[in-house]
A and B are shown apart, each in its own frame.
Chain A
Amino acid sequence: MDFEGIILTYWPKFLEGTLVTLQLTFFGVTIAALLSPPLAMLRLKGPRAVQIPLRIYVSFVRGTPMLAQLFLIYYGSGQFRPLLQEVGLWGFFREPYNCALLTFALNSTAYQIEIIRGGLMGVPHGEIEAADGIGMSTWTKYRRVILPHTYRIAWPALGNEIILLMKASALASVVTVFDLMGQTRLIFSKTFDLSAYAWAALIYLIITTVFVTLWRISERTISPQIFASKRKDRAVIAGMRG
């Protein structure tokens, strides 16, 4: 089979796999995006008894390969089946998709906690003092001053994290999930044709490119002042040259 033949014959499989990959990434990232802001605040300002376990969790996740974490959750949960059955969780862990999603969510949460923490620390003190000065409540202060600025700072790093997770989701294929990589391996094992992997790489590249473009547009929307000032600078420089 030739290069085009692979995609012409197997495109439904590639499509199926791509959807699973997108789904895994989307749910993983979303769960992490909901969990990480409160956890990042606790990590910064919480009591020591909360900070220490959070620190251990973050360094464990960042310091071990995701493949090892996935194996621990997938095959590890199997070893504890009687216990999990007793508490009614085996139904969840029995499905490889759930184990992969749990691993990705745990992983991305740890990274996003650190990214949001960096963002929170990057908000200038003056802004916070000004908010206090005009008598904003804590809730209003976070909602109107701290969090918007935090996300402006964290946005590019968050985009990066999403791309990394999307690519890492290929690991799901080793625990029998038919994501894009899983489907590709299946196609390769039938055809022994390396172009299957070339197509997979191309699809991953397309996903990333589309995502990066969308993310850049969103960056402009949430931080218009940065791009506006850049344009102004350029206009000024152009004017000086003229």
Chain B
Amino acid sequence: MKYGRLMAAGLAMGLAVAALPAGAADKLKLGTEGAFPPFNYIDASGNLAGFDIDIGVELCKRMEVECELVAQDWDGIIPGLLAKKYDFIIASMFITDERKKQVSFTDPYYAAAMTHVAPKGAGITDFSAEGMAGKVIGAQSGTTQAAFIEKVYPDADIRLYGTQDEANLDMANGRLDLMVGDVIPSVDWVSKTDDGACCEIVGEPITDREFVGDGTGIAVRKEDNALRENLNKALAEILADGTYKKINDKYFTINVYTMKAE
């Protein structure tokens, strides 16, 4: 019995020590995907880069914490946060009710909208469920776009990809009749890349709150409310003092915070 109690005490101490770094965090881990240009991607020298990364690094600076960047596949990005592989996700994640069941979000750091992409001259005009029946439509799996296709085009032949890059590649290869993606990366892809030259943006932007939620936010674990508030404070700061605009202008010609041209 004596040993039992000793062991229990030892175990408790061990747990307390293990819990310390999370509590007294002066070093945080930032989780992102790294396959979603221009928001987050791996650059030529193998480092994570992009709008999300720049914003994240700037927020860490404002919070006076050291941040380590962690790349994680999209499918496992929320489970990874819950498993404490990193402390917050800044990966162009839309704030949706479905995700709010698992994690908390900061205020949005940019506005959310999705769009359709089709091969040039395909002449797709009927965006009703009937019009899309039998069409091959692609999106990245586990995204709001995938949820959108499944719900709105139930009779389409749905193809889901691990990354947006793979979906883009199959679009360029001519396997898809239509793709649904985030507005900015889609515009970026069709206008700036060789592969994307095959295709064009079609139809109206999708801004239905049911699918795009309340904008794009930073996800934290539900219990980490202090971190969420610190991130919100830092975000308000960089929005107010022009740092956000500087980062925005580095990547985009429109203001992504409002999705409007300035």
Q: Assess whether B173 is in contact with A78, with CB atoms less than 8 Å apart.
A: yes
A192: CB under 8 A from chain B?
Answer: yes
Closest CB in chain B relative to A94 CB, distance in Å:
6
Q: Collect the chain B residues with CB atoms within 8 Å of residue A90's CB.
A: 174
Q: Assess whether B141 is in contact with A78, with CB atoms less than 8 Å apart.
A: no
Show 17 A/B contacts (Cβ-Cβ < 8 Å), sorted by A. A75-B169, A75-B170, A78-B170, A78-B174, A81-B173, A90-B174, A96-B159, A174-B162, A176-B161, A186-B141, A188-B75, A189-B142, A190-B98, A190-B147, A192-B78, A192-B82, A194-B79
B57: CB under 8 A from chain A?
Answer: no
Q: Collect the chain A residues with CB atoms within 8 Å of residue B175's CB.
A: 78, 94, 96
**Which of B82, B102, B174 is A81 in contact with, Cβ under 8 Å?**
B174
Residue numbers of A with Cβ under 8 A of B are: 75, 77-79, 81, 90, 94, 96, 174, 176, 182, 185-186, 188-190, 192, 194
B187: CB under 8 A from chain A?
Answer: no
How far, in angstroms, from A189 to B102 measured CA to CA in the complex? 12
Q: Assess whether A189 is in contact with B174, with CB atoms less than 8 Å apart.
A: no
How far, in angstroms, from A182 to B146 measured CA to CA in the complex? 14
**Which of A79, A96, A174, A192 is B102 in contact with, Cβ under 8 Å?**
A192
**Which of A75, A81, A176, A194 is B160 in contact with, Cβ under 8 Å?**
A176
Q: B121-179: which residues lie under 8 A (CB-CB) from chain A? A: 138, 141-142, 146-147, 159-162, 169-170, 172-175
Closest CB in chain B relative to A144 CB, distance in Å:
49
Contact string against A for B residues 71-108, beta-carbon threshold 8 Å, 1 for contact and 0 otherwise: 00001001100100000000000000010001000000
How far, in angstroms, from A176 to B149 measured CA to CA in the complex? 15
A-B pairs with lowest CB-CB distance, top 6:
A78-B173, A189-B142, A176-B159, A81-B174, A94-B175, A189-B141
